[in-house]
Amino acid sequence: MEFTAAAIAGFLKGEIEGDPGIVVNAVAKIEEGHEGALSFLANPKYEHYIYSTKSSVVLVNKNFVPTSKVEATLIKVENAYNAFASLLQLVEQSKPRKKGIHPTAVIEPSAKIGEGAYIGAYAYIGENCILGDNCSVYPHVYIGDNSKVGNGCTLNPGVKIYHECVLGEGVTIHAGTVIGSDGFGFAPQSENEFMKIPQIGNVVIEDHVEIGANVTIDRATMGSTIIRRGVKLDNLIQIAHNVEIGENTVIAAQTGISGSTKVGKNCMFGGQVGLAGHIKIVDGTKIGAQSGIPGDVKKENSILLGYPAIDHRDFLRCSVVFRKLPELRIKVDALEKEIESLKKQ
């Protein structure tokens, strides 16, 4: 990677303040900048770093007005964070892609492998599988029988795709994730025993989904567990059988979603959110970290916090009262004593 400030500004349609010919060959956080590095400033909390950073070029928002001298060349754009993300994508795409099939990979004769595929060491592709063009299957990946993987997918080391699951195009799955393991289905029997209910459905993951490391998505009891187009899942998430996640929903780490729950599109969940089973979350719902949702969310674009989760404004008001509970307890005790004293008089 080596670009001039002028080339970067042209790509981003930005305005240059400083030397358009200065060259960058690396990216760095603004507080760790060095000569030849490109950084960005989006959060005002970090503004003080721009006056001392050693980075050669810094992306800033168009409305940024420095209060002191800035040594770095500035490129002003509509949104510095989004612009920086676009540049990182450009850098990532410029890296050479692995190709070819490693001799230790096992591919069943009935499997169909698309053009330009990379299949790493000790990967396994089962019977009647279809692997699309330009897919990357890294070492120790397992793809079960009758599964379909669309064009341009990336399965990182140790990913396990159980039988009959379907992935769309441009899906990225990070290391250690398991797609299509059995849903948690057991029927109570006499003498406190449980009978396993066979899980005969599958998992369907639509186009341009990204799934983090060590995520588990259970196959449906019947039908499909569905992850809709554009969904982004963080690491260490559990999605149970027959769940449906709507388009472009984003979910942070350690969230758990119980069976048969339906999540709408454009939702955002913080870390460690828990959803009960057989409920419906409408479009645009935002749920704060560690919140619990025991029932349906019916109002679109709600912002919820706490357990059981309530409107964020109500939760913040309750938090103020909660912090004052020790003080209120002392006052109540004093009032009770005063009332008892008055009764005796």
Q: Look up residue 289 and give its amino acid.
A: A
The answer on pLDDT for 249 being more than 90 is: yes
Confidence of residue 50 (pLDDT cuts 50, 70, 90): very high
CA distance 15 to 17: 7
Confidence of residue 318 (pLDDT cuts 50, 70, 90): confident
CA distance 316 to 25: 46
pLDDT of 132: 97
pLDDT of 320: 85
CA distance 142 to 161: 6
Confidence of residue 95 (pLDDT cuts 50, 70, 90): confident
Token duo for residue 282: 């409408």
- Give me the long-range contacts of 62-68 (CB less than 8 A, separation at least 24): 62/15
Confidence of residue 343 (pLDDT cuts 50, 70, 90): confident
To the query of whether residue 241 is one of the catalytic residues in this protein, the response is yes
Name the active-site residue from 48, 163, 241, 278. Answer: 241
| Strand, helix or coil for residue 225 | strand
CA distance 241 to 243: 6
pLDDT of 52: 96
Closest CA to 3 of 98, 94, 96: 94
The answer on pLDDT for 94 being more than 80 is: no
Lowest model confidence (mean pLDDT) among 34-38, 68-72, 89-93, 155-159: 89-93
pLDDT of 2: 86
Residue 311 burial (10 A CB sphere; 0-12, 13-18, 19+):
middle
pLDDT of 211: 98
What single DSSP character describes residue 290?
Answer: T
pLDDT of 166: 98
Q: pTM for the full model?
A: 0.88
Q: Which has the higher per-residue pLDDT, 325 or 199? A: 199
Confidence of residue 195 (pLDDT cuts 50, 70, 90): very high
Burial string for 172-210 (b: 16+ CB within 10 Å, else e) reads: bbbbbbbbbeebbbeeeeeeeeeeeeebebbbbbbbbbb
pLDDT of 251: 98
Q: Using one digit for the tens of pLDDT, what is the confidence trace for 55-67? A: 999 999 999 999 9
pLDDT of 319: 85
DSSP per-residue letters across 149-188: E-TT-EE-TT-EE-TT-EE-TT-EE-TT-EEEEPP--EEE
